[in-house]
Each structure stands twice: as C-alpha cells, then as structure tokens.
C-alpha cells in the first residue's frame, strides 16, 4: 500500500537529498508525490525543458525502494508565461488577478491551455518509461484559492458555445430561463452575459441580482471548464503511459462537481487537514469528507496530502496531539482510503508555507511526529491485506448534489440557510448512531436501506422517477423542506409543495415560515426549528411531530407516508442536532438497521475485506473509552477487552 510523503526536492540542496531519502526509508515511507509546482524548474524559459533535477531525485529514492507519483506542474504558472501571454483570470469586477501565489490562470484561456498541454506532454514523454513513476497527479487542487470562476472574454465566448450545445436555439434558452422577466430575452448566444458584478449587488456581496438560471448554468459551465481542462491533460498522459492517473480533490469543496472531475481519473485522491490555522473540524465532518471522496467514484481512494504537523500560513493551528496522526490515518482507512501520503516530508524554510509543518521540522530532525508515523507504517504494512480492497457495508446514503449546492447558494431560502451544513447534519447523526453511511450522488438507491435526500430542490423528472421507484420497491426516502420544488433550469415548478414529491410524501406544504426565532417541535421527534417551518397538511401521511408555537401550533412538521412497499419521510423544518439524531434513529430502526449510540467521541466502522470482516474503532477522546466491543486486535494480535486508548485506533475481529 502507498504510505508516502509529499516531497519538494527543489527546496533543498542537492547534498541533502540522499540523507532525506534515507530518513524516508527509515520512516517506512515507500512513495513520494512531487513536481506539482515545478513548472518554472522544468521549463526555465519557454520551450526549454530540463527534468534532470527530478531524474536524479527519482533515482535516489528508487535506490531505497521509494516510488514516485509525479505531477503535471500546471497549478503554478511561471512568470515568463504570464509576462508573455494574457492568461490570468478576471474576477467578477473585471479586474485581472495578480500573479504570485498559484492557480491564477483561466481554464478557458487558449494560451494557458496550449502551454499546459505542452508541459504535460513533455513531462509525460520524459517519465513514461520510468518504472519508478508509478502514478500521475494532474495539476493540484482545481478550484483552490477561489479559482473556479473566471469572468474573462474567453470564458464568455466559451460559455456561449456551451449554452448553444445545450439549448440548441436561443428561443429555447429564453423560454427555459424566463427571459420575459425584466426584458432579458437574448437575440443570440453571443449576447449572453456572465453573471459578473452589476450595480445592484449590495456591498456585502451576499446577494446576486442575476437571473438564477444564468447563475446556475454559469456555475455548471465553470465546473465543466476545469473538468475539460483536466481531460486534455489526461488524454495526453494516456498517449504515453498506462500508469494510474489521479488529481487531488478537496473533500467538502463544492465549486467543482467532484463526480464529474473524477470520472476520467483512475482513482480519486484528496487533501485532508483536520485542524489548522482556520480551525478544527469535528471528527464526523472529516469522516464525511472521506466519504464524499469515496463516493465520487464509489471507489476506494488515496489521501494525497494528510496533515503531518501543526499547520497554518500566518500562524499555526494546534499541534497534532500524540496519537492523533495515527488516529487520522486509521480514520482515512476506515472510510475508504487505500493509501496515504503525508504533507510534507520536511517543513519549508522559505516561501508561503513556513508554518505548515511536515513530518520533520525545519531542521529535518526526526522527532515525535516522525516516530509516530514510523510506528504506524510498521503496523499498516503488517495489516495491509485487510486494507487493500476493503469495503464498507453501507446501510444509508446521504445524497450530495452539486446542482443543489449551487442552487441553494444562489437562492438561500432563508437568512441562515446553508445546504452544506444541512446535509452534514444527517451524515453526522448517522455517524453518531453507528450507521455506516455513504455520501454520493443520487443514484443506485437500491443498495441502501435508507436514502437521505436533504433539500433536493433542483431535481429532474428522471431523478424524481428513480426516487419514486426506490420507494415503491421498499426503500426509505427522507426528504426535507424545499425538496422537489425546481426543475433543472432552476425554475420553480408550478406544483403544490413539495413539488414532485407531494404525492409520494402524501402531504401538502400549504404554507411556510422563515421564523424570526426558534419554534418548538414536539411529538416522536422533539427539538426546535430555527430557520424554516413548512406548514404541512397530511394527505395520507402520518404526522410524527408538530409545531408547538406560532399561528401554526399543532400543524404537522414531520411526516411519514407509506408508499408502495416503502416509506417517505418528510421533514418540513430544520432541526437541532439532537433532534436530527432522534429522527435518524426512528428512520433507521424502522428500516431494520441496527442502531447503537456510539460512546461520545468514538466511531465504529464495520468493514469487509478479502481476508474477512473486521471492525475499526476510533477514539477521538483524550481518555480511555469503553466501546462495548470485544474481540481480537488484528494490529497487535492481542485480545481486545473493549477499552480503547486515548486517541487510539484499533482494528478488531469481533468475537
Ligand atoms: C493544500 C495544497 C498544498 C499545500 C497545503 C498546505 O491545499 O495542495 O500544496 O498548500 O494545502 O497549505
């Protein structure tokens, strides 16, 4: 299995490479990812290519049994490129972006595309036959540093073509977009504007005053632009090499559609930083990020950058506590990682990331973090057969939809509404109840006992049909407020609420309220609604909970409807975490899922591998915790009596 480090030989004197490679070997690292920001180094001036620096390092590493994942370096365009060609993005105010960080170029800029293709081709040609290059990474973190959207003339022209291909005629577009509203009909595709700044936008920058259809299509187009940009490089690489190709994605990041971006990749990889300058993530949030990345291709993945030390750009976040690097590693494996690469081997002395600590500090001396990973490497190499090809038994699916992430960002429904938080609340509740939960696109429902489709507001007729079939055949579908109300053009459907789901849910949401203060919700699920209350008239459905305040006191808030052989739950309001957990408990139990509260701060994941079933236990507490699970530790071979060490991770064969 890949157990590696991200390495930047170009940051170190040549005289240090061998000692660094020796130390990697001593640490148990067998893979290095490099090259992703080295454009200027390998093409010092236009058309002059020189890979000798990396050739030498790859050989030094290989002599110690360490293989290389090489990257195309297109994330960091050199200055000669931006001097000669006008490749920089334009922001929504029309301003040219500055150079000096990375990711400044436009995916639709013909010169950037051409230069990217050339450097990708030269790199591919150069390393295609190098047996020590075992995989490829394209570019680095598409969309990072708010670089998904560009408002330049190239984008405008490409957008026009993209729309023409999709809509065929401008009359069709006008009709779908509702151009009659405010006289926005276009005469040609070339007329279509980008949803850039216009004077109606308030200084807070929160609201758009553009047609929501235009805005949604532009977000789809921008995402597609990077998918297409990536595809050009993939095609070039495939001409020369059969080695696996990946890109390092960003977990919860939603500006680019991860399903689309990973379609052409052999495997997904991603970058995981649970605790840094910008704060710490709840462990369930990190687990969900892993699941999103697994769900992107419904396939195991690699963590290409895993936090290895205290991290920050201007100041550091908390130092990983003893045991935590190992714990994060097992957390990744439990949620579908088959390989892990730590960022970075040695902390940089110069440049932006002086405070983004790696496996070793600035002086390169191995200390606590190095030794912890060294021990982890030994463990993992001994249990590798359980990790490669392992699968999780999923009982539930939380649907993530990029169209809906964008649609809800364009029209938020109520002041504090946040789609990402909303879907997270359902993942978190499932995780806390030990329900193995996948996060993926709206598809393959029949694999799951329960499907959560929170706030699925933009929905195609086909998707609605599939969801209905799933329920008819015995599935359990959970919908929440604002589901089913819009079509794929971001137009509101002329239907009673909840739109395409009104019949399957057996209700009508006759009114709604975005309440100024919390409204108690009582019944089988007790809690409070804070941002939204659908006022529901059951139409065959049974009421599970009702509101206990406001003019809609006594009206249904949460319902369940028997439909075909299955059930549709409709949650008409947002709920606090404890209430979501109660709801998930009720839904899961009635779907025949074995629910158990995990002890606080403990995660339990049941896996299947070619070597048999096992259970991963993860303890995020800084104290020993009783898990109630007994068996044999596959890591130590000892009996496991149920108590897991502080910040501990165990792999158990349950008895
Ligand atoms: C990632 C990026 C790395 C490095 C790291 C720490 O997002 O891919 O190159 O910048 O963050 O900031």
| Domain range list for the chain | 2-151+216-387, 396-590, 602-654
| Dist. CA 123–CA 563, nearest whole Å | 57
269 prior amide bond cis, ω within 30: no
Whether residue 459 contacts residue 493, with contact meaning beta carbons closer than 8 Å, is answered with no
Q: Which of 396, 468, 477 is nearest to 432 (CA)?
A: 396
| 54 membership: H or E segment, kind and range | helix 52-62
pLDDT tens digits for range 463-477? 999 999 999 999 999
Averaged pLDDT, 299-304: 98
Rounded-to-integer distance, Cα 202 and Cα 541, Å = 43
Distance 147 CA to ligand 1 centre (A): 14
Q: How far is the CA of 342 from the centre of ligand 1 (A)?
A: 11
Q: Of the residues 71, 252, 271, which should be mutated to test ligand 1's pocket, given the most ligand atoms within 8 Å of the CB?
A: 271
Tens digits of residue pLDDT in 134-181: 999 999 999 999 999 999 999 999 999 999 999 999 999 999 999 999
Residue 270 has pLDDT above 70, yes or no: yes
Report how far ligand 1's centroid is from the alpha carbon of 344 (Å).
9
Q: Whose CA is nearest to atom 10 of ligand 1?
A: 353
- Kindly report the CATH number that applies to the domain delimited by 602-654: 2.60.40.1180
Q: How far is the CA of 11 from the centre of ligand 1 (A)?
A: 15
Determine whether 305 is an active site residue.
yes
- Average pLDDT of the segment spanning 458-464: 97
Give the model's pLDDT for residue 203: 54
* Alpha carbon distance 236, 431 (integer Å): 41
Residue nearest to atom 9 of ligand 1 (CA): 140
Q: Quote the CA–CA distance of 59 and 51 in Å, as a whole number.
A: 12
Over residues 644-652, mean pLDDT = 97
pLDDT at 596: 85
What's the whole-number mean pLDDT along residues 526-551? 97
User: pLDDT band at residue 416, thresholds of 50, 70 and 90?
Assistant: confident
Give the residues surrounding ligand 1 with Cβ less than 6 Å away: 140-141, 144, 271, 305, 343, 353, 356
Structure tokens at 59: 């050989």
Report CA dihedral (547, 550, 555, 557) to the nearest 10 degrees. Answer: -40
Cα distance between residue 93 and residue 397, in whole Å: 40
Three-state DSSP class for residue 141: coil
Q: Which of 36, 122, 275, 305 is catalytic?
A: 305
Q: How far apart are CA 343 and CA 353, in angstroms?
A: 11
In this predicted structure, what is the pLDDT of residue 532? 97
Least confident range from 196-200, 384-388, 551-555, 621-625: namely 196-200
Q: What is the mean pLDDT of the chain?
A: 96
Q: What pLDDT does 201 receive?
A: 60
Which of 305, 307, 315, 359 has most ligand 1 atoms within 8 Å of CB, for mutation? 305
Active site residue 141: yes
Identify the residue whose C-alpha is closest to ligand 1 atom 6: 356
Would you state the pLDDT for residue 60?
98
At 26 the three-state DSSP class reads helix
Question: What pLDDT does residue 140 have?
Answer: 98
Helix runs in 388-515, H state only: 402-410, 419-432, 461-472, 502-505
| Residues in CB range of 632: below 8 A, 6 or more apart | 638, 639, 640, 652, 653, 655
What is the fold, at CATH topology level, of the domain defined by 396-590? Rossmann fold (3.40.50)
The average pLDDT across 305-328 equals 97
Nearest CA, atom 1, ligand 1: 271
Alpha helix stretches (DSSP H) within 298-437: 324-334, 368-387, 402-410, 419-432
Report whether pLDDT(511) > 60.
yes
Q: What DSSP designation does 389 have?
A: T
Query: For position 412, what pLDDT does the model report?
Result: 86
pLDDT in tens, 78-92: 999 999 999 999 999
pLDDT at 204 over 60: no
Q: What is the mean pLDDT of residues 546-555?
A: 98
Q: What is the pLDDT of residue 202?
A: 56
* pLDDT over 70 (residue 489): yes
Residue-wise pLDDT tens digits, 567-607: 999 999 999 999 999 999 999 999 999 998 889 999 999 99
Q: Which among 36, 43, 122, 141 is annotated as catalytic?
A: 141
From residue 459, how far is each of 390, 486, 487 by CA, in Å? 33, 6, 5
Summarised one tens digit per residue, pLDDT across range 43-54 is 999 999 999 999
Q: Are 505 and 597 in contact (CB under 8 A)?
A: no
pLDDT surpasses 70 at 208: no
CATH entry 3.40.50.1820 includes domain 2-151+216-387? no
> pLDDT tens digit string along 357-411?
999 999 999 999 999 999 999 999 999 999 999 999 899 999 999 999 999 999 8
Number of the ligand 1 atom closest to the C-alpha atom of 250: 7
pLDDT of 198 over the 80 cut: no
Ligand 1 mean position, distance from CA 391 (Å): 29
**Distance between CA atoms of 479 and 360, rounded to whole angstroms?**
48
Q: What is the CA(346)–ligand 1 centre distance, in A?
A: 14
Tokens of 34: 């490099």
pLDDT at 199: 65
């Amino acid at each position: 299995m890949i157990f590696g480090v991200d390495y930047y030989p170009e940051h170190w004197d040549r005289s240090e490479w061998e000692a660094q490679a020796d130390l990697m070997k001593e640490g148990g690292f067998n893979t290095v990812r490099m090259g992703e920001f080295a454009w200027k180094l390998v093409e010092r001036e236009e058309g002059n290519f020189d890979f000798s620096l990396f050739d030498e390092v790859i050989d030094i590493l290989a002599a110690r049994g360490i293989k290389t994942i090489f990257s195309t370096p297109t994330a960091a365009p050199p200055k000669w490129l931006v001097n000669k060609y006008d490749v920089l993005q334009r922001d929504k105010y029309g301003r040219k972006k500055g150079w000096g960080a990375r990711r400044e170029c436009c995916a639709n800029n013909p010169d950037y595309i051409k230069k990217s293709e050339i450097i990708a081709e030269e790199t591919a040609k150069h390393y295609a036959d190098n047996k020590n290059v075992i995989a490829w990474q394209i570019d680095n973190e598409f969309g990072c540093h708010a670089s998904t959207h560009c408002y330049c003339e190239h984008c405008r022209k490409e957008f026009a073509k993209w729309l023409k291909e999709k809509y065929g005629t401008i009359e069709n577009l006008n009709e779908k977009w509702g151009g009659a509203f405010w006289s926005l009909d276009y005469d040609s595709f070339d007329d279509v504007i980008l949803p850039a700044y216009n004077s109606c936008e308030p200084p807070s920058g929160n609201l758009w005053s553009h047609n929501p259809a235009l805005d949604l299509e532009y977000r789809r187009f921008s995402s597609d632009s990077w998918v297409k940009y990536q595809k050009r490089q993939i095609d070039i690489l495939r001409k020369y090499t059969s080695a696996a190709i990946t890109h390092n994605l960003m977990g919860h990041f939603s500006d680019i559609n991860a399903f689309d971006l990973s379609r052409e990749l052999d495997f997904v990889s991603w970058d995981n930083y649970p605790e840094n300058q910008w704060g710490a993530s709840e462990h369930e949030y990190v687990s969900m990020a892993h699941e999103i990345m697994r769900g992107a291709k419904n396939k195991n993945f690699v963590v290409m950058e895993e936090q290895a030390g205290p991290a920050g750009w201007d100041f550091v976040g908390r130092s990983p506590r003893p045991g935590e690097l190992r714990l994060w590693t097992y957390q990744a494996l439990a949620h579908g990682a088959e390989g892990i690469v730590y960022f970075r081997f040695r902390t940089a002395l110069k440049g932006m990331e002086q405070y983004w600590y790696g496996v070793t500090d600035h002086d390169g001396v191995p200390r606590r973090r190095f030794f912890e990973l060294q021990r982890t490497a030994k463990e993992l190499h001994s249990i590798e057969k359980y990790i490669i090809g392992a699968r999780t038994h999923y009982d539930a699916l939380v649907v993530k939809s990029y169209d809906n992430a964008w649609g809800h960002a364009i029209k938020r429904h109520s002041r504090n509404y946040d789609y990402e938080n909303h879907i997270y609340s359902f993942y978190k509740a499932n995780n806390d109840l030990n329900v193995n939960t996948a996060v993926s696109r709206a598809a393959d429902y029949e694999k799951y006992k329960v499907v959560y489709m929170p706030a699925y507001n933009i929905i195609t007729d086909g998707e609605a049909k599939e969801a209905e079939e799933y329920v008819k055949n015995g599935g359990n579908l959970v919908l929440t407020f604002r589901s089913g109300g819009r079509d794929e053009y971001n137009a509101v459907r002329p239907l009673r609420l909840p739109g395409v789901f009104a019949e399957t849910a057996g209700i009508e949401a006759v009114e709604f309220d975005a309440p100024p203060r919390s409204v108690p919700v009582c019944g089988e699920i007790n809690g409070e609604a804070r941002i939204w209350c659908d006022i529901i008239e059951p139409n065959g459905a049974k009421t599970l909970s009702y509101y206990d305040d406001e003019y809609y006191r006594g009206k249904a808030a949460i319902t369940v409807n028997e439909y075909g052989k299955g059930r549709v739950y409709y949650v008409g309001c947002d709920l606090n975490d404890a209430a979501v957990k109660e709801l998930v408990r009720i839904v899961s139990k009635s779907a025949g899922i074995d629910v158990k509260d995990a002890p606080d701060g403990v995660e339990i994941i049941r896996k299947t591998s070619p070597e048999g079933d096992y259970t991963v236990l993860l303890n995020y507490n800084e104290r020993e915790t009783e898990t109630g699970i007994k068996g044999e530790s596959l890591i130590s071979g000892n009996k496991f009596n149920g108590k897991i060490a502080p910040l501990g991770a165990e792999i158990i064969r349950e008895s």
